[in-house]
Amino acid sequence: VSNAGVGMVGPLECQSLAAMQSLMDTNFFGLVRLVKEVLPDMKRRRGGHIVVISSIMGLQGIVFNDVYAASKFAVEGFCESLVVQALRFNVAISLVEPGPVTTEFETKVYEEAERADYSRTDPETADIFTNLYLRNSKDVFASLGQTPEDIAEHTLRVIEAVRPPFRHQTNVAYTPMAALKHADPSGALMTDAFYKLVFKYDAVLRLSLR
């Protein structure tokens, strides 16, 4: 089970390349290093199961989570490419894709975001992040957040499955969000829906979450 991860939220201009590279080294290359270690023996034994804790943000990018989403997209692409070869050797690969999970991990990320310096971006972007994104995120976690124990139960079901699924989403509230991308390959439907949700109907979003 590959579960190591770090988070990053905020305006892109306020994040250093060194911090981005460090995040990718943990979230993506950490997985790659692990798989390179365990896969050869699994192939020799012609059996095994690699379970990767991904994210719904590996399927759908979320505003102000640019680099974190990129790392999870990399994880998804890596596993999607590898799974066909792995199956030839009777090795299963499963991606567990949670939405928001209420842990110290998330608390620390958002506490750091509230204290960060946003002088390197324009005032409008800083205002959108602090007064729209951070405020709505708290409501999202309060309303839709899962517990670590819930994610552990989902992961256990994936591990124990007779035919392990390649993808397993833990929060049904996010299924429509992922479905928007498949409904319109041009991306226009998804982009328009998220733009309106963030900038036109944010009051309705907060009310529905509460």
Active site residues: 68
The Cα-based distances of 47 to 33, 90, 110, 175 in angstroms read: 19, 5, 40, 31
Would you say the C-alpha torsion 115, 117, 118, 123 has a positive or negative sign?
Answer: positive
H or E stretch covering 93: strand 91-97
Residue 48 DSSP class: E
SS3 content of the chain, % helix, strand, coil (to 5): 65, 10, 25
Q: Are 62 and 137 in contact (CB under 8 A)?
A: no
Could you give phi then psi for residue 3, rounded to 5 degrees? Answer: -130, -5
Interatomic CA distance for residues 195 and 210, integer angstroms: 21
